[in-house]
Structure 1
């Protein structure tokens, strides 16, 4: 895999395996969703980001953190607006990583694992108020004790579980934590939820776009990928937004670098997992993150990336973030029993639900008919990105 020069020069600390996270066909799912006379034929694949790293509970956040670590290890003056965007909050050598998330956050345990890898202390802030899963759990004590909470503690993190703050209370628990650490002589480095607000947060999945392209080329040469020879559609969770934004930026740079435009651009479809904010809010965030990453890797952010590149689907969010609704539970069970693939209850079960809908209802075929060239109109390849998160399943034992 070769990155353009400007992109390749950005420092990266490798957390992933030397080989790409594997892509494999979802043969049973493809067979169950398609018929012989279907046009176009749809072939489904999975990219296993849950198999991407030797560190604990591999998942999509390690790609993002690879680009944050050089900044963590390089003592610099505090980053402007660091309490919002991420970065060191005081000059000097960083001693402590601080991050936040909902109860059962995957991001927090990957940050905790990185802290252990770097020999740093980790403080994890978990917010009860943003966890719909906690509110829906019948055994709330277990939800607060097992799964990712347990893993974070095993990794040596200090876990602080916060009650929802009263609306009239004019304080920020993150700023309070950073101030407290600073007052005790620590140098904390703030990593916002999902690393998305961090200026470097989109780079990991911009790089993943180049990895996917290299895997496409190999699969096409081996005769394992028909049709356009590409993964024409890429389905991925959209939570904090920088995974989707990074993919958009990376594939845009690939298209711009390509000598030929024989194929329609790959379409990234982000499946939203929370109904808290309207889809337009998430679209603006993803566009902002895509442009932020694009500007770092060699694109003209305003000209090369537009809202037309952002495709988010909010029909599968369920009742709340972190809640495994009955429909998504069906797909969690289906993937386990048809493919032997274990999904997570917060993100990937909803992605597969969305993917199945797009195929069964003919939405993928209709979209492809509008975009495909005649040469490649007979087959469409769709890639599901498995972002990990299975370690949260024990907290959902009374639902699953």
Structure 2
């Protein structure tokens, strides 16, 4: 039986959304085996929100939640946000999109979810995969297998056209010529940037997810503050983290002032998965995404969203994006063997490693002492991606 719709503020509820997810929220599961036994004060309880079980389409994960707010524009007779970010002033197409075009690393989860969505909408899909993004291909002992298994194989199974671009191909950093070729062939391409983050609506899905989590908190009876005090999630392109921050801040802004003094804020910890850019770059990017999403949903972004809200963890990025280092592999094995929770090698395994390290350290306990708590609730957001595992079969 489906639950009633998530209760959103009026402005937020009026933003068009095309349902891709299941009617019911993605489940939140307790992870009791990982929870420290005979713990020192405070008790730390760990939970997982299963975004990998959120949708009926192929390889469910966090991108479907983002795409729900992009589909109305895709299907519009006059799409507004179809063009490449480097060339925003192209002519508005004379009708809805006929083909979705997106990009990513060789084992991109995002591209699979865009390809699956295209098939569901009756559209074509073109997936551009770059050999030069990250280090997964270079680290592989069997590069040819890496190029044909995992998410690459699923993209092709879904009927997407897959083009693998060389590192020095200028189209790997600017796909505008490819979009122009498609237009010349009579297609109406809709460009979805990698991760869907820099799309104007990229943060809305996870702003909505914050309201979903808040309703689940109420139903669960968590104890302690009655909410998840720390939320750990991957930070790649950044709008998942930014959207969550915007949504949680709106929830807090709607509470009475006295309640805000009694109940501390949730901390969203974005665990970075790539050392390519410094943490400061990602902090600024996430702040922009959070402020953009908050403005769209009716929250005063200058008043309620600041740099202090952005908490990113960069100690577990490893040697390169897409490379599964020994410590991260051990964290993934621990999650699988203790909780039968299978993670992906690029994002969620690094998040798990970061979360497990935080649980051993002092900050969570300091938070409990500051707020006189006997219990702290920790949420790990599983954003999917397990389909990439077969491409990493040669990792020792």
TM-score, with structure 1 as normaliser: 0.93
Aligned to 2:336: 336
CA shift digits 1:231-271 (9 cap, x unpaired): 11000000000000000000010001123323101000000
Counterparts in 2 of 1:266-345, with a 5 A limit?
266-345=266-345
Aligned to 2:146: 143
2:75 and 2:164 map into 1 onto residues whose CA distance is 28
The 1:85/1:312 distance shift into structure 2, 3 A limit, reads farther
- Counterpart pick for 2:44 among 31, 42, 45: 42
The 1:171/1:120 distance shift into structure 2, 3 A limit, reads closer
Aligned to 1:252: 249
Q: Equivalent residue of 1:29, what SS?
A: coil
CA shift digits 1:300-338 (9 cap, x unpaired): 112210000000000000000000000000011111110
Q: Which has the higher helix share?
A: 1
- Please state how far the C-alpha of 1:363 moved relative to its aligned partner: 2.7
Counterparts in 2 of 1:337-376, with a 5 A limit?
337-370=337-370, 372=371, 374=372
CA shift digits 1:323-379 (9 cap, x unpaired): 000000001111111000100000010001000100112232124434x2x3xx111
Does structure 1 retain, via aligned residues, the 8 Å contact 2:203–2:243? yes
2:395 and 2:342 map into 1 onto residues whose CA distance is 15
Q: Which runs of 5+ in 2 are unaligned?
A: 1-5
Q: Which runs of 5+ in 1 are unaligned?
A: none
2:135 and 2:289 map into 1 onto residues whose CA distance is 26
Does structure 2 retain, via aligned residues, the 8 Å contact 1:85–1:198? no
Q: Equivalent residue of 2:17, what SS?
A: coil
Aligned to 1:386: 382
2:191 and 2:91 map into 1 onto residues whose CA distance is 7
Aligned to 2:74: 72
- Please state how far the C-alpha of 1:86 moved relative to its aligned partner: 8.2
2:326 and 2:171 map into 1 onto residues whose CA distance is 38
Q: Equivalent residue of 2:323, what SS?
A: coil
The 1:361/1:116 distance shift into structure 2, 3 A limit, reads same
- Counterpart pick for 1:24 among 29, 32, 41: 29
- Please state how far the C-alpha of 1:82 moved relative to its aligned partner: 3.8
2:288 and 2:35 map into 1 onto residues whose CA distance is 34
CA shift digits 1:178-198 (9 cap, x unpaired): 111011111110100110000
Counterparts in 2 of 1:47-126, with a 5 A limit?
47-76=49-78, 79=81, 82-84=84-86, 90-92=92-94, 93-126=96-129
1:328 and 1:266 map into 2 onto residues whose CA distance is 26
CA shift digits 1:117-161 (9 cap, x unpaired): 100011000011013111100000000000000000111100010
- Range moving further from structure 2, 87-96 or 144-153: 87-96
Q: Equivalent residue of 2:34, what SS?
A: helix
1:381 and 1:87 map into 2 onto residues whose CA distance is 47
Aligned residues: 387
Does structure 1 retain, via aligned residues, the 8 Å contact 2:100–2:125? yes
Q: Equivalent residue of 2:200, what SS?
A: coil
Q: Is residue 216 from structure 1 mapped to residue 217 from structure 2 by the alignment? A: yes
- Please state how far the C-alpha of 1:46 moved relative to its aligned partner: 0.3
2:171 and 2:127 map into 1 onto residues whose CA distance is 21
The 1:86/1:75 distance shift into structure 2, 3 A limit, reads farther
The 1:27/1:118 distance shift into structure 2, 3 A limit, reads same
The 1:328/1:85 distance shift into structure 2, 3 A limit, reads farther
1:171 and 1:109 map into 2 onto residues whose CA distance is 18
Q: Equivalent residue of 2:127, what SS?
A: strand
- Please state how far the C-alpha of 1:90 moved relative to its aligned partner: 3.7
Does structure 2 retain, via aligned residues, the 8 Å contact 1:85–1:199? no
Does structure 1 retain, via aligned residues, the 8 Å contact 2:83–2:191? no
Does structure 2 retain, via aligned residues, the 8 Å contact 1:279–1:312? yes
Q: Equivalent residue of 1:319, what SS?
A: coil
Does structure 2 retain, via aligned residues, the 8 Å contact 1:236–1:385? yes
Q: CA RMSD in A?
A: 1.8
Q: Is residue 205 from structure 1 mapped to residue 206 from structure 2 by the alignment? A: yes
The 1:192/1:295 distance shift into structure 2, 3 A limit, reads same
Q: Equivalent residue of 2:181, what SS?
A: helix
